Amino acid sequence: MIDVNAAFTRITGYSRLEAIGKNPRILKSGRQDHAFYSNLWRDLTDKGHWNGEIWNRNKDGQSFAELLTISAVRDASGKTMQYVGLFSDITAIKEHQKQLEHIAHFDALTNLPNRLLLADRLQQGLTQADRRGQVLAVAYLDLDGFKLINDRHGHDVGDQFLIALALRMKQTLREGDTLSRLGGDEFVAVMIDLEAPSACEPMLTRMLLAAAQPVQVGEITLAVSASLGVTFYPQKQSIDADHLLRQADQAMYQAKVAGKNRYQIFDAEQDSSRRVHNESLDRIRQGLFQNEFVLYFQPKVNMRSGQVIGAEALIRWQHPERGLLAPGLFLPEIEDHPLAISVGEWVLNTALLQIQDWHAAGLDLAVSVNVGARQLQQPDFCDRLQAILKAHPQVNPACLELEILETSALEDIAKASRLIEACSELGVSFALDDFGTGYSSLTYLKRLRVGMLKIDQSFVHDMLQDPDDLAILEGVIGLARAFKRQVIAEGVETIEHGSLLMQLGCDLAQGYGIARPMPADQLPLWTATWKPDPSWSDLPWLGGENE
């Protein structure tokens, strides 16, 4: 720094003599990552100016927000000689805005979402469930015996108890789910992205256990239980958010009548769901033993060059009575069951055998395999993968790509990062599936060593009509380019989908508009004869990581 004014001294605490000669990094707060500063300097180099909001730190170590504009000062030949920075302190504005937003949407005692924010998230969840064809659960929770705590120990103790219990119950849910406090000792949980109603049962059990554990408030040990009522969306009849809450509330009272410390499902048909689930598990186990499962393969292509870059292995059940079953009809049943590991390892072994057979026939093709959360979370996953690879020594591990769901990776980002690093040492690669459907962040994208981002088909499907989905696609493709990741779009159903994706900078794709999943013996001929649509060759090239 060669000169500063009095306002600089007032805001930063550094006098003019202290600042001159120092690097502006003395103000760095650490809140912005390397990518932020890379983009800043790129704008300065390319455009000669940058403006935006940034957090810095004053001489006393306190962070402050500033609205900053940096401009390059150039000589007659255009060479940059210095930079001039002009900034205003907007900390008070940012903090006030944050406080107002928090007060409006969060419970003052427990810091959980309040009724207003619950209504917003529940409505978003209903819309998302309709779009993805998935199930949403609403659980209404009321504490058993909390009134006695207030009567015996006073409201201050009762408040401390609620704060501790709210935090504990929130930790039992997944990222993306919502736990809110309606008031008193009543809470509502909204659980999204469920493949089937039974998928929420482990979370309901964890919530009950969390509510029943003792809480220490000062020298007093307090304990209650909870009653839960649960309902699901969609239903046979049209239903809105308020009606769902009333259903869950009614089921909660049924749980209290039945003896408390339990959950009750609103729909009477759901009472038999656990029996049906156990029967389904037995039948799936039998099908695995009797070799009733098969793999279909959906090609993945470069739409611009016409190259077939690989295929995704997709399990099907050749059921003796019901015919060929799609995975959505049986995989949700085993998602939270050890049987998911057995099925997952069968897919890996079968995919490697198929790679070996194709290689012997002259077709070298990489295959991607979906790895479920249950399988991925096994402590010995990497060791088991290594054993499977060793059982197929003729297959190059580089021909195998493991697709993991974004939501699975986010459950424990540090563990997922270590696992991916360890498995990458074996030679396999990773892709992050359904990217954009979770709380995507630059932090975990930076930490996870995945070579491919897979855009969820829900965004691709509506990209031609929905500007929000189109904006998400542009953002994901931009992230991939910034982090030097490849990006592939699934769910490409039409020539128009492919054309727009290519114009956005995404050349890799799969979907019904290219090819439906097919048996393994059909793929060699398809690979040899497939050609991209002629109109794709005329599209402008935008560069990026897929070239």
Give the model's pLDDT for residue 547. Answer: 40
Amino acid occupying residue 358: W
Is 520's pLDDT higher than 70? yes
Is 158's pLDDT higher than 50? yes
Is 450's pLDDT higher than 90? no
Tokens of 3: 């000169």
- Model confidence at 211, pLDDT cuts 50, 70, 90, reads very high
Give the model's pLDDT for residue 105. Answer: 79
Determine contact, residues 186/141, Cβ cutoff 8 Å.
yes
Query: Of the CATH numbers 3.30.450.20, 3.30.390.30, 3.40.50.2300, 3.40.50.720, which one belongs to the domain with range 6-96?
Result: 3.30.450.20
Is 447's pLDDT higher than 80? no
Helix (H) / strand (E) containing 85? strand 80-89
Amino acid occupying residue 479: L
Q: How far apart are CA 364 and CA 305, in angstroms?
A: 18
Q: pTM of the prediction? A: 0.52
- Model confidence at 335, pLDDT cuts 50, 70, 90, reads confident
Is 323's pLDDT higher than 90? yes
Between 155 and 518, residue with greater pLDDT: 518
- Model confidence at 268, pLDDT cuts 50, 70, 90, reads very low
Domain 275-538: state its class: alpha beta
Q: State the residue for tokens 């760095």.
A: 28
Q: How far apart are CA 106 and CA 95, in angstroms?
A: 16
Q: State the residue for tokens 């170590």.
A: 61
50-92 pLDDT, tens digit per residue, is: 999 999 999 999 999 999 999 999 988 888 899 999 999 988 8
98-136 pLDDT, tens digit per residue, is: 777 777 778 889 989 998 899 999 999 999 999 999 999
Per-residue pLDDT, averaged over 32-43, amounts to 90
User: Domain residue spans in the chain?
Assistant: 6-96, 106-266, 275-538
CB atoms within 10 A of CB 364: 9
Q: Please give the CATH topology (third level) of the domain spanning 106-266.
A: Alpha-Beta Plaits (3.30.70)
Q: How far apart are CA 56 and CA 25, in angstroms?
A: 9
Q: How far apart are CA 246 and CA 73, in angstroms?
A: 65
As a whole-number percent, the residues of the chain with pLDDT over 70 amount to 94
Q: How far apart are CA 511 and CA 162, in angstroms?
A: 49
Give the model's pLDDT for residue 366. Answer: 94
As a whole-number percent, the residues of the chain with pLDDT over 90 amount to 61
Burial class (CB in 10 A: 0-12, 13-18, 19+), 540: exposed
Q: Within 13 Å of residue 82, how many CA atoms lie on the same side as its CB?
A: 7
Q: Please, where are the H alpha helices in 238-330?
A: 241-257, 273-289
Q: How far apart are CA 115 and CA 131, in angstroms?
A: 24
- Model confidence at 440, pLDDT cuts 50, 70, 90, reads low
Opening angle at CA 13, ends 7 and 14, nearest 5: 90
Give the model's pLDDT for residue 458. Answer: 84
Q: How far apart are CA 395 and CA 356, in angstroms?
A: 6
469-518 pLDDT, tens digit per residue, is: 888 888 888 888 888 889 999 999 999 999 999 999 899 999 999 999 99
Tokens of 298: 């959906």
